[in-house]
Chain A
Amino acid sequence: MRVRDVAGALGLEVLTPQQDLDREITGGYVSDLLSDVIAHAKPGDLWITLQTHRNIIAVASLKELAGIVLVAGRTPDSETLAKAREENVPVLTSQLPAFELAGKLYQMGIRGTE
């Protein structure tokens, strides 16, 4: 499943339309502690978070994540989006809270562990 498919199916708003939305999503991870994401997320994970600080882009890039979905309608500042373009990290936003969004992704077959 690609980032594009998930965005379409769940009505996510794509904040970085110029990024590669054909990336394959191989798993999911939910966390707001960036140190935890660095320690435990896997490459190809779609990361669900409410943090909007620009460090999220560096973490996603470092961990080769498929993309970031911000929850509950949160929008990052322009610096975060500029960094996302620089690092080629897709950033999307959902009106749903993290629990609901993770549940829907799970129903679509995305798993956190093998």
Chain B
Amino acid sequence: MLRIFKADLHVHTCLSPCADLNMGPRALVEKASQQGLDVIGISDHNSAENVPAVVKAARDRKLTVLPGMEVTSKEEVHILAVFDTVDKALRLQEIVYEHLPGENDPEAFGPQVVVNEDHDVLGFNNRLLAGATELSIDQVVESIRGLGGLAIASHVDREAFGIIGQLGFIPEELNLDALELSANTTPEEARRRFPQYADCAFIRSSDAHSVAEIGKAWTWLLLDEPSTREIKKALRGEDGRRVVPEGAGSCTSGGQQRAFG
């Protein structure tokens, strides 16, 4: 049976150098539940080391945690990866780590804290997670899709690290599953601002770097279950699955969204 899921697919944890230190697994899960979210995606910069802890913290909850990562391509474009399993996120992490030069300076960029589900500090990641990988945007997208994940261009409405700001336009051959908008822009506004992408699948997420920001923006998805397979169908408008426009009160079938590729 299809039902509507409230999803915020882009949430950071205390592992991201730019995120608040109190973004521990239980705090995230608690806030997400309070916000009425059914699904959250965990997406730290170039690492998935805190994903297992958040998945564990949500074990006895109704909340679904989708493992992921926000990868920085060599063009300095942010690409959101969303998977069903921790294992797949960790496999992407292996690829990313092989191509991520530099060492973190916590003074300059912030600490990168690896925690367990109770927010006990397990250690500090000393890679330069704030940096760019040596992977081209095509390689990033293909790596994600090769592992069966969703590849979503992060905050396309933002100039910094957004694909349109960095690359001027979205390369046609790129196999993106969706374009993400920040809390600053509605899909309606985005379709006016970027008419050439009006028929693309848009999602909206919080890109939360603090607990308070979780659920500040979200996407309504009509799905059978909260899996990447179902979300992919919704982004393509297949089998009755779809992205439900904000403010829409019912689930009657509307226009089909087109995903790339």
Residues of B within 8 A of A34 (CB): 166-169
Residues of B within 8 A of A98 (CB): none
Query: Nearest chain A CB to B59's CB is how many angstroms away?
Result: 41
Quick check: is A18 within 8 A (CB to CB) of the other chain? Answer: no
Quick check: is B185 within 8 A (CB to CB) of the other chain? Answer: no
Pair A37/B136 contact, Cβ less than 8 Å? no
Contact with B along A53-85 (1 / 0, CB 8 A): 111001100000000000000000100000000
Give the total number of A-B pairs whose CB atoms are below 8 A apart. Answer: 32
* Bound Cα distance from A58 to B168, whole angstroms: 9
A77's nearest neighbour on chain B, judged by CB, is B136
Q: State how many residues of chain B have any CB contact under 8 Å with chain A.
A: 11
Quick check: is B75 within 8 A (CB to CB) of the other chain? Answer: yes
Apart from A37-B168, A58-B168, what 18 extra A-B contacts exist at CB < 8 Å?
Answer: A33-B159, A33-B166, A34-B166, A34-B168, A34-B169, A35-B165, A35-B167, A35-B168, A38-B168, A51-B75, A53-B75, A53-B137, A53-B171, A54-B171, A55-B167, A55-B171, A58-B169, A77-B136
Residues of B within 8 A of A59 (CB): 168
Query: Nearest chain A CB to B178's CB is how many angstroms away?
Result: 20
Contact with A along B158-185 (1 / 0, CB 8 A): 0100001111110100000000000000
Interface centre among A33, A38, A53, A58 (most CB of B within 10 A): A53
Mostly, the A contact residues are helix
* Bound Cα distance from A59 to B167, whole angstroms: 9
Write 16 A-B pairs (CB below 8 A) sorted by A numbering: A33-B165, A34-B166, A34-B168, A35-B159, A35-B165, A35-B168, A37-B168, A38-B168, A51-B75, A51-B167, A53-B136, A53-B137, A53-B171, A54-B171, A58-B168, A77-B136
Mostly, the B contact residues are loop
Query: Using a CB–CB distance below 8 Å, which chain B residues touch chain A?
Result: 75, 136-137, 159, 164-169, 171
Query: Nearest chain B CB to A39's CB is how many angstroms away?
Result: 9
Contact with B along A1-36 (1 / 0, CB 8 A): 000000000000000000000000000000001110
Residues of A within 8 A of B168 (CB): 34-35, 37-38, 55, 58-59
Residues of B within 8 A of A33 (CB): 159, 165-166
* Bound Cα distance from A54 to B136, whole angstroms: 11
Q: A53-B75, A54-B171, A55-B169 are in contact. Are A35 and B164 (CB under 8 A)?
A: yes
A51's nearest neighbour on chain B, judged by CB, is B75
* Bound Cα distance from A95 to B164, whole angstroms: 28
Across chains A and B, which 8 residue pairs bring their CB atoms closest together, nearest first? A34-B168, A55-B167, A35-B165, A53-B75, A35-B168, A38-B168, A34-B167, A59-B168
Query: Nearest chain B CB to A102's CB is how many angstroms away?
Result: 20
B170's nearest neighbour on chain A, judged by CB, is A55
* Bound Cα distance from A5 to B167, whole angstroms: 29
Residues of B within 8 A of A35 (CB): 159, 164-168
Query: Nearest chain B CB to A90's CB is how many angstroms away?
Result: 19
* Bound Cα distance from A91 to B159, whole angstroms: 26
Query: Nearest chain A CB to B215's CB is how many angstroms away?
Result: 30
Interface centre among B137, B164, B168 (most CB of A within 10 A): B168
* Bound Cα distance from A58 to B173, whole angstroms: 14
